[in-house]
Amino acid sequence: MKKIALYKSPLKSLRLFLLSSIFVIPSIWFITSENETDKIFWFTLCFFGIGFVLSLFNILDRRTQIIITKIGIWDRSLRQETIKWEYIEDANHIEIYRQVFVTLKTNEKFVLKKKLYKWAEYLNKSVGGEKVNLNVSYIKIDMEKFITFINIMKSENIEDREKVIEMYENRIK
């Protein structure tokens, strides 16, 4: 069975790594020096150290993030079974503070495995999200072609979906 596997791009995480390094390395140097250190260096180390560790994890993480098959879309971050093409009505993208999401509008047959809190549903609606939002911020894809691909796949017959996957396999990456 043909499939498209999408991975995190290490280059997109490199920016966060370099930005965090600008603050983490001098903070470590000031803390380890024999001079009396201020508490601000400890705060800076802890705050930007989280970004440093997360970016390092994202750079080294080579697991598949999204798998697209003729059956549907699977996203690691959703902790959900494969979202079948029959459930998807429309796909769009939104950007929230430089985080890019693909929003999948699903029909009433689709049930989330984990129910959202009321405040999370309200927040989703207020920013333009849907029940299903795929975080593609760290994945290197051509967004317009990816959205077009999803909208074509949802309307194709199951027999023709492998041909569409072959056609778009190298275009969306």
Q: What is the pLDDT along the chain (173 residues), one digit of tens a residue?
A: 889 999 998 988 898 899 999 999 999 988 888 766 678 888 999 999 999 999 999 999 999 999 999 999 999 988 889 999 999 999 999 999 889 999 999 999 998 888 778 888 888 888 988 889 999 988 989 999 999 999 999 999 988 999 999 988 888 87
Q: CA of 65: how far to CAs of 6, 30, 74, 109, in Å?
A: 6, 38, 8, 25
Structural domain of 128 = 71-168
Is residue 155, in this structure, part of any structural domain at all?
yes
Is residue 65, in this structure, part of any structural domain at all?
no
According to DSSP H, which parts of the chain are helical?
A: 10-32, 39-60, 118-127, 143-155, 161-168
On whether both 29 and 77 belong to a single domain, the answer is: no
Q: Which helix (H) or strand (E) holds 99?
A: strand 99-106
What is the pLDDT, as a whole number, of residue 70?
Answer: 95
Q: What is the pTM of this model?
A: 0.83
On whether both 51 and 121 belong to a single domain, the answer is: no
On whether both 89 and 110 belong to a single domain, the answer is: yes
What is the pLDDT, as a whole number, of residue 37?
Answer: 67
Is residue 173, in this structure, part of any structural domain at all?
no
Is residue 125, in this structure, part of any structural domain at all?
yes
The number of distinct structural domains making up the chain is 2
On whether both 40 and 77 belong to a single domain, the answer is: no
